[in-house]
Amino acid sequence: MADNEHALRYVETNSMIHRTYPLIKVAWVFLVAISLFIFREPVSGLIMFLAVLMLTLVLARVPLHYVLNSSLVIVGIGILLMGFHFFSDQGNPLYKIGPLTITDTGWHDGPVYFFRLATVVLASFALIWTTDIRDLMVSLTKIGIPYRYAFAVFLALRFLPLIQREVDAVQAAHSIRGRAARSSLMHRIRLIQRYMFTVLINGLRKAEATATAIESRGFGAYKDRTYVKEMKFNPVGLLLVIVFAALISALVYLESTGMFI
């Protein structure tokens, strides 16, 4: 099994976050995302990132190597976005790297955008790691969403680890046949094109097989659907949202007082 195979897969363990009602965790992710668009100082983003990280490792009991194996996705795009703002934002020049100039505005806003993106991605991963997608589907039907739409969400999340395993398998096959790790840059670009084509074709085949299975079982023939596993709302899970709402309010207040400037 590939080391990064679990990156987009539910981690089955017994923790307080795992036992939290799925829709509360979805609301928590939205709360974290909204807060990061409110923050204007890098320190606030850093504190929020560390809070989500500690929740993932301590309260959710997600193994550290799960987070490390996904770190490239979590921080990689954020680093690129930060670098873009370093050199593109208008302002007074601070540093020069060859023909590029880092401005004071970019030096301030770059980390803000980094933590904004990295924290949202980490929170989304935490939701995937701690939420059984079957439970999420049932909880969506509990609030009145038709089970056909809830099942669509289930399929979208279910296909993520399948696609990831498909990419791992195709990459391993190409590496065995062509030593992709030692090939030139242009050859690697061509390999990526082949990966995309192969994964796309295999994904379409799985989607067609899934559609046939759904149709053969008469899915959608009835207005309501029964479930073997029932989800019960536990108000204790609201503490997750309350604690983070209090943290966000405190950070906004500290920013307004100029504490982080």
Average pLDDT over residues 241-259: 93
From residue 196, give the alpha-carbon distance in Å to each of 23, 83, 175, 207, 229: 33, 27, 15, 16, 37
Average pLDDT over residues 218-236: 72
pLDDT higher than threshold 80 for residue 221: no
Residue 139 lies in a domain: no
Residue 140 lies in a domain: no
List the domain range (segments joined by +) for residue 166. Answer: 146-228
Average pLDDT over residues 170-180: 66
Based on the domain organization, do 235 and 198 belong to the same domain?
Answer: no
Q: What is the predicted pLDDT for the residue at 2?
A: 42
For the chain, how many structural domains are there in total? 2
pLDDT higher than threshold 60 for residue 183: no
Based on the domain organization, do 126 and 108 belong to the same domain?
Answer: yes
Based on the domain organization, do 109 and 6 belong to the same domain?
Answer: yes
Based on the domain organization, do 199 and 247 belong to the same domain?
Answer: no
Residue 137 lies in a domain: no
Residue 138 lies in a domain: no
Reported as a pLDDT band with limits 50, 70 and 90, residue 69 is confident
Q: What is the predicted pLDDT for the residue at 5?
A: 47
Query: Which range has the worst mean pLDDT, 125-139, 158-172, 173-187, 241-255?
Result: 173-187
More confident residue, 36 or 161: 36
Q: What is the predicted pLDDT for the residue at 258?
A: 83
Based on the domain organization, do 188 and 101 belong to the same domain?
Answer: no
Q: What is the predicted pLDDT for the residue at 196?
A: 75
The CB density around residue 54, as the number of other CB atoms within 10 Å, is: 11
Both tokens of 45, joined, read 């983003």
Q: What is the predicted pLDDT for the residue at 151?
A: 76
Query: Which range has the worst mean pLDDT, 22-26, 81-85, 223-227, 256-260?
Result: 223-227
Based on the domain organization, do 154 and 166 belong to the same domain?
Answer: yes
Based on the domain organization, do 122 and 198 belong to the same domain?
Answer: no
Show contacts of 209-217: CB within 8 Å, 24+ apart.
210/155
Gap between the Cα atoms of 256 and 250, Å rounded: 10
Beta strands in 39-172 (DSSP E): 93-97, 100-103
Residue 141 lies in a domain: no
Q: What is the CA radius of gyration of the chain?
A: 22
Block residue for tokens 């399929």: 155
Both tokens of 71, joined, read 């770190």
Query: Which range has the worst mean pLDDT, 54-68, 87-101, 217-231?
Result: 217-231
Question: Burial code of 33-51, b = ≥16 C-beta within 10 A, e = fewer?
Answer: eebbeebebbbbbbbbbeb
* Mean pLDDT, rounded, of the chain: 82
Based on the domain organization, do 35 and 65 belong to the same domain?
Answer: yes
pLDDT higher than threshold 90 for residue 144: no
Based on the domain organization, do 183 and 213 belong to the same domain?
Answer: yes
Reported as a pLDDT band with limits 50, 70 and 90, residue 3 is very low
Q: What is the predicted pLDDT for the residue at 115?
A: 94
pLDDT higher than threshold 60 for residue 13: yes
- The residues near 241 (Cβ < 8 Å, ≥ 6 apart) are 24, 27, 28, 31
